[in-house]
């Protein structure tokens, strides 16, 4: 039986500004400031998209959803994540699990975690027990610590469910 696995990682950061909603993992977080970006600037979804594309060896989010394309103005990044999960599916891979860390000084997002897990699991087409959502501050250090921005990093494991190409160095 073929059990080919691939792993990918992703990272993203966006500036926090006034008069923007703060959308994280597809959930609107109550915050006086939100992330600036061409799409809805959801760093958690963006990091996960890059993790999936990285595992597939399929470039990155900027290749697939250019921020110069008006089609992605204010786009739902959760929707884009679902699209990329579909790319994995069509490539013969199923997402085994996904794990994301949101890096943000404030507000605390623990109250939103269950909702975020549910949204991500739905977009990825996997059970909630296979989705990790964590949050951390950087103790006042750096761009996130100063409140200048929000960041996220993610890891995704994908497992081949179709095709018969062996995993190896060939
Ligand atoms: Mg981004």
Alpha carbon of 125 to ligand 1 centroid (Å):
22
Residues 6 or more apart in contact with residue 68 via CB below 8 angstroms:
none
Alpha carbon of 79 to ligand 1 centroid (Å):
14
CB 151 within 8 A of CB 15: no
Q: Helix 43-56 crosses helix 77-90 at what angle (to 10 degrees)?
A: 10
Report pLDDT for 115. Answer: 98
CB 109 within 8 A of CB 135: yes
pTM of the shown model? 0.93
Alpha carbon of 42 to ligand 1 centroid (Å):
7
List, for the chain, all residue ranges whose pLDDT scores fall below the cut of 70: 1-3, 163-170
């Amino acid at each position: 039986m073929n059990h080919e696995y691939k792993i990918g990682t992703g990272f993203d950061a966006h500036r926090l500004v006034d008069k923007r909603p703060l959308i994280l993992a597809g959930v609107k977080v109550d915050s006086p400031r939100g992330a600036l970006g061409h799409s809805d600037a959801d760093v958690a979804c963006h990091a996960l998209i890059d993790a999936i594309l990285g595992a597939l060896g399929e470039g990155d989010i900027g290749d697939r959803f250019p921020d110069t394309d008006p089609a992605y103005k204010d786009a739902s990044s959760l929707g884009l994540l679902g699209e990329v999960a579909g790319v994995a599916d069509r490539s013969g891979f199923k997402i085994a699990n996904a794990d994301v860390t949101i890096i943000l000084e404030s507000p605390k997002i623990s109250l939103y975690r269950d909702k975020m897990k549910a949204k991500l699991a739905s977009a990825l087409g996997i059970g909630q027990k296979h989705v990790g959502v964590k949050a951390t501050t950087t103790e006042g250090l750096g761009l996130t610590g100063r409140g200048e921005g929000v960041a996220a990093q993610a890891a995704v494991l994908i497992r081949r469910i179709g095709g018969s190409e062996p995993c190896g160095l060939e």
